């Protein structure tokens, strides 16, 4: 083609270490079969494509092939550098449910932002705003869990899903239930706000990590605020100490973009469009 590099990895390698200014990588339309790593010191990278349906980075690594490795190591695209931005691009892992855990996008980046892209577990402070989260059909006797947040102490960590949609994947019909979250560690924090919840959401809403009747520790922080749709009825939700089915607006504001991840204003200079409040 007419590009400067044959692979995305080659383009990433060309970024100077300790880069201080925005380094743009434009990925033309096509499907790129590779595992990409943006290592530490390759800071301030913007990678953008020609639309979610047109520019695709795909791989199929899974825990089945690498049982002694970590789940994060299966990622199609991994970022360890700071101030990373991605837009108009799709990250895909095609391993499928029969291959156990498999990751499409893995971020260890501070101050990273993604928009207009397809790709939720881990220990980080992250906001998902205006996202379409689609559940795929699981294997027999499996259930779907949207989040598995892994905060294990009182440091600021958690997932906030705002103004989004949690629905079945288009054209897929299945009877398996879905849960908004499965608290992974002792201080797991997840809030779902002003989001459409489809009929796939189980009335209980949330499930314990080991799927037993034992609730998670009272130090978890789970909540819902002004959600709508057939899965949003909270009358039969779990009764855990750490779960709030009807958050007060004052509490909800703490989990907006400005309240949760942008207090220092780093997004203001990132050129990423966002709505900082409810």
- Residue 209: the pLDDT is 83
How far, in Å, CA of 191 to CA of 181, rounded?
9
How far, in Å, CA of 143 to CA of 132, rounded?
19
How far, in Å, CA of 165 to CA of 82, rounded?
28
Question: Dihedrals φ, ψ of 129, to 5°?
Answer: -115, 130
* Placement of tokens 């080991």 in the chain: 210
How far, in Å, CA of 30 to CA of 254, rounded?
40
Query: Which of 88, 93, 115, 89 has its CA nearest to residue 106?
Result: 93
Q: What tens digit of pLDDT does each residue of 183-240 get?
A: 888 999 999 999 999 999 999 999 998 766 688 999 999 999 999 999 999 999 999 9
- Residue 251: the pLDDT is 96
Which CATH number does the domain 8-119 belong to among 1.10.1740.10, 2.160.20.10, 3.40.50.970, 2.60.120.260?
Answer: 2.160.20.10
Domain ranges of the chain: 8-119, 120-271
Domains 8-119 and 120-271 share a fold: yes
Per-residue DSSP letters for 103-118?
A: -SEEE--SS-EEEEEE
**Architecture of the domain made up of 120-271:** 3 Solenoid (2.160)
> For each successive 10 residues of the chain (278 residues), what is the average pLDDT?
87 96 94 95 94 89 78 89 91 76 83 65 81 80 82 83 90 80 90 96 92 83 97 97 96 93 76 78
- The CB density around residue 45, as the number of other CB atoms within 10 Å, is 23
Question: Dihedrals φ, ψ of 244, to 5°?
Answer: -120, 105
Asked if residues 234 and 245 have their Cβ atoms less than 8 Å apart, the reply is yes
Asked if residues 55 and 92 have their Cβ atoms less than 8 Å apart, the reply is no
Question: Dihedrals φ, ψ of 179, to 5°?
Answer: -120, 145
Q: What is the pTM of this model?
A: 0.74
């Amino acid at each position: 083609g007419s590009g400067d590099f044959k692979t995305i990895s080659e383009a990433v390698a060309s970024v100077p270490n300790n880069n201080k200014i925005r380094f743009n990588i434009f990925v033309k339309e096509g499907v790129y079969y590779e595992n990409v790593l943006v290592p530490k010191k390759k800071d301030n990278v913007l990678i953008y494509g020609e639309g979610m349906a047109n520019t695709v980075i795909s791989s199929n690594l899974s825990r089945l092939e690498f049982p002694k490795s970590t789940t994060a190591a299966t990622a199609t695209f991994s970022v360890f550098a700071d101030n990373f931005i991605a837009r108009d691009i799709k990250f895909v892992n095609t391993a499928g449910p029969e291959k156990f855990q498999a990751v499409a996008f893995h971020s260890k980046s501070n101050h990273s932002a993604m928009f207009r892209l397809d790709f939720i577990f881990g220990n980080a402070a992250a906001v998902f705003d205006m996202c379409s989260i689609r559940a795929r059909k699981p294997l027999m006797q499996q259930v779907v869990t949207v989040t598995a947040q892994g905060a294990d102490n009182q440091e600021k960590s958690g997932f906030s899903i705002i103004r989004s949609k949690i629905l079945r994947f288009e054209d897929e019909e299945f009877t398996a239930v879905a849960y908004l979250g499965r608290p992974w560690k002792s201080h797991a924090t997840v809030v779902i706000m002003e989001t459409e919840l489809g009929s796939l959401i189980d009335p209980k809403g949330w499930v314990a990590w080991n799927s037993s009747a034992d609730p998670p520790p009272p130090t978890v922080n789970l909540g819902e605020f002004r959600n709508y749709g057939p899965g949003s009825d909270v009358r039969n939700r779990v009764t855990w100490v750490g779960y709030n089915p009807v958050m007060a607006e004052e509490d909800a504001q703490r989990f907006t973009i400005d309240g949760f991840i942008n207090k220092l204003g780093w997004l203001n200079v990132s050129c990423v469009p966002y709505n900082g409040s409810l």
